[in-house]
Structure 1
Amino acid sequence: MPAFSKTRIAPTPSGFLHLGNAFSFILTAAMARLHGASILLRVDDLDKERCRQAYLDDLFDTLLFLDIPWDEGPRSPKDVYDRFSQHLRLDQYETVLSQLHQAGFLFPCACSRSDLANAGLNSGCTGKCLEKTAQAAAWKIADSPETIEILSYPSRFSTYPFPTAMKHLVVKKKDGFPSYHLASVVDDVFFGVDLIVRGADLWESSLAQLHLSSLLPTTRAFAHATFLHHPLLTEDGQKLSKSAGHNPIRQLRQTALHRKEIYQQASRFFGLEAEATNLREFTDLLDPTRFASL
């Protein structure tokens, strides 16, 4: 069984957490215990328009309710603002952005989503956008590889076609802030994360982030991380969404649902041989090779 140093729980406080988030937290914590890794709580709060105090409070309430431990990171909402907010690491992101720009990897693009759609594109650039204003431009990666290599759990290197939708990845948004992809790579390298547990919906994001990390010596350690993409909890065939208000944990708590019932549901969802009622039991029953999808 491989050994890992650190994994992370990295939610964005942009909505009330749902049952799918809870399942992912439980799996991540169990993977950490199974492999002797520590857990980092990383709050992705760069997007001030979407991140709200109520959602941040809900994050800590949910972790407490589920009895999910973590070893590093903020201990309270106030601690996020005081010591761990991504806004306190903007200089690190700007350093990487400057290095990417100086190395010639980036180009400015002011295309809107409608511009791309009207041109029959789902990513990239129309080539006409800078007739508008360079001040409104995002910065994107100029080139993409044909294939990308990823280290999938437990220890399997595989090569996949680079996703078309991730061509010309945005690394700096039009509002001047670094993108989620850039901040995520920089943070994982900075904190020494070597096991990344995330939903299957982020598979293409993982491949794109691996390409981004390969461009600079300071971020290449990201490529040594092992990825486990777990299946998604869905409703009517659609993945659960915080913004859509699917199955919020806060409502489940208000109906006197006990945490053991969530662990039992998570056990059935991940195909455990029996129903766990707490994290220790879930870890003991877990065989992640049974559902590692990619």
Structure 2
Amino acid sequence: MTSKIRTRIAPSPTGFLHLGTARTALYSWAYARHHGGEFVLRIEDTDVARSTQDSVDQILQSMHWLGLDYDEGPVYQMQRLERYQAVIEQMLAAGSAYRCYTTPAELDALREQQKARGEKTGYDGRWRPEPGKTLPPVPEGVQPVIRFKNPRDGEVRWDDLVKGEIVIANKEFDDLIIQRADGVPTYNFAVVVDDWDMAITHVFRGDEHINNTPWQINIYQALGAPLPLFGHLPVILGDDGLKLSKRRGAVAVSNYEDGGYLPEAMLNYLARLGWSHGDDELFSREQLVSWFDGSHLNKSPAQWDAAKLTWVNAHYMKQADDARLAGLVAAQLARRGQAASAERLAPMCALFKDRCATTLELADWLAMYFAPVAPSAEDVAQHVTDAVKPALAALAARLQTCEWDKAAINQAIKDTIGEHTLKMPQLAIPVRVLVCGRAQTPSVDAVLSLFAREEVVARLATA
């Protein structure tokens, strides 16, 4: 085995990049980066009927958004069919694989018979060559599949990087189809050839693959290929205690990008979703790489906690550069048909980001600067009373002539309060309702200073 550590992520382009796959990609990437190794992206597109270019594009975009840069790839399996076929021929010649002419209908009938007898269902080896065994005559017009001649005795044993030692008897497994009748390889075969050819040393993946691992280890051994080390990560559970599913909840990485989360927050949260470094909850990408040596991976399922992710994101929102946030908010507003320059948005982001958990929330706040507001009837009735309307008119008059900055606006408000013998909330809250469409905002003078003067005066005139 090569001395250089090489890891990979190999998503199937039959949909978006799932949160579970993203976490596996993160661990594989961080492990390679920690050890000065290499990280490979492979697209496992042998499911021709379900694979799409849109899915490929979304996977690549999500990887880019998360900042999971790869040293090789993307490598596409469907571009490697000649290599798979060459290995198939090698295995047929060596006797570790054989042609099977059992039809799908015959396999269905076999399973029904096994069920009726109360037996475990599986292929019965009818086309498996054995010394002294006479095989059935080759049927006409049937294109064979290729099966791996899995050992029938003994056991498969490996020291899992997450689970510890795992032992499974070979008798639990039948002879796996490694090439379909159409010549396309199956997952368990292609993944072995790929990882062998790409010199992958460490394979992190979900623990739903544990039962595939004995087949794969046996194929490695049949090929005389070096074994990688395997680490099977527990599933991520949703709020309902069930495995995260495409059918329930937002499980696509792209959903969180669109929802206003920052990639550094998602990376931080995903890393802690099955791994720990002491009690550290918040850490940088550089710290993750420094700490992630493959230890301290949890053996138990992780619980997705949307509130925790939002808390983490709020932390990174407060730290984020205002110009960067402005660009993200501009994109959010553009999707609503509201044009806003990042230059104008930057000071607004500085003022409002501390009270927002996502850039989507920030866009909700800042939309008032670029579109008319509609305060609730309740707020208007409660705060914009006949008693305060003269003061609102007086303030509007002062705002028409004062300097347009926070200090001058503050002085205009104080002068109006003094003239009408009001307290600050008695004037500030009605101003917020009319200008901002809500009763609570940051400091009213700072908020107003970011509006165009004409817009503030016009909105106050609606009292």
Mark the CA change 1:213 to 1:204 in structure 2 (over 3 Å): closer, same or farther.
Answer: same
Which protein has the larger Cα radius of gyration, Structure 1 or Structure 2?
A: 2
CA distance in 1, matches of 2:290, 2:54: 34
Contact 1:63 1:69 in 2 (8 A): yes
Within-5 A mapping of 1:17-56: 17-56=17-56
- Map of 2:330 onto structure 1: none
Give CA deviations for 1:71-109 in whole Å, capped at 9, x if unaligned: 1113xxxxxxxxx32222111111111121122232403
- Map of 2:230 onto structure 1: 227
Matched, 1:254 2:245: no
Contact 1:261 1:277 in 2 (8 A): no
Matched, 1:16 2:16: yes
Contact 2:160 2:229 in 1 (8 A): yes
Within-5 A mapping of 1:122-141: 122-125=121-124, 127=126, 135-141=142-148
CA distance in 1, matches of 2:19, 2:55: 15
- Map of 1:71 onto structure 2: 71
Mark the CA change 1:239 to 1:162 in structure 2 (over 3 Å): closer, same or farther.
Answer: farther
2:280 pairs, out of 250, 264, 274, with: 274
Give CA deviations for 1:228-248 in whole Å, capped at 9, x if unaligned: 111221234443345878611
Contact 1:12 1:44 in 2 (8 A): yes
Contact 1:166 1:204 in 2 (8 A): no
Question: Which range moved further: 98-107 or 42-51?
Answer: 98-107
- What TM-score does the superposition give when structure 2 sets the normalisation length? 0.54
Q: With a CA cutoff of 8 Å and minimum separation of 6, indicate the structure with the bigger relative contact order.
A: 1
Give 1 or 2: higher helix fraction.
Answer: 2
Structure 1 residue runs of 5 or longer lacking an equivalent are 75-83
Within-5 A mapping of 1:1-294: 4-74=4-74, 84-105=75-96, 106-108=98-100, 109-111=102-104, 114-118=108-112, 119-120=114-115, 121-125=120-124, 127=126, 135-144=142-151, 145-153=153-161, 158=165, 160-162=167-169, 166-217=173-224, 220-221=225-226, 223=227, 225-235=228-238, 236-241=240-245, 247-272=251-276, 273-276=279-282, 278-286=284-292, 288-291=294-297, 293=299
Mark the CA change 1:257 to 1:36 in structure 2 (over 3 Å): closer, same or farther.
Answer: same
Structure 2 residue runs of 5 or longer lacking an equivalent are 128-135, 301-463
Which stretches of structure 1, 4 residues or more, deviate above 6 A after TM superposition?
Answer: 128-134
Mark the CA change 1:292 to 1:36 in structure 2 (over 3 Å): closer, same or farther.
Answer: farther
Question: Which range moved further: 136-145 or 27-36?
Answer: 136-145
Contact 2:11 2:43 in 1 (8 A): yes
Contact 1:232 1:239 in 2 (8 A): yes
CA distance in 1, matches of 2:104, 2:181: 10
Tell me the matched-pair count.
Answer: 277
Question: Aligned Cα RMSD in Å?
Answer: 3.0
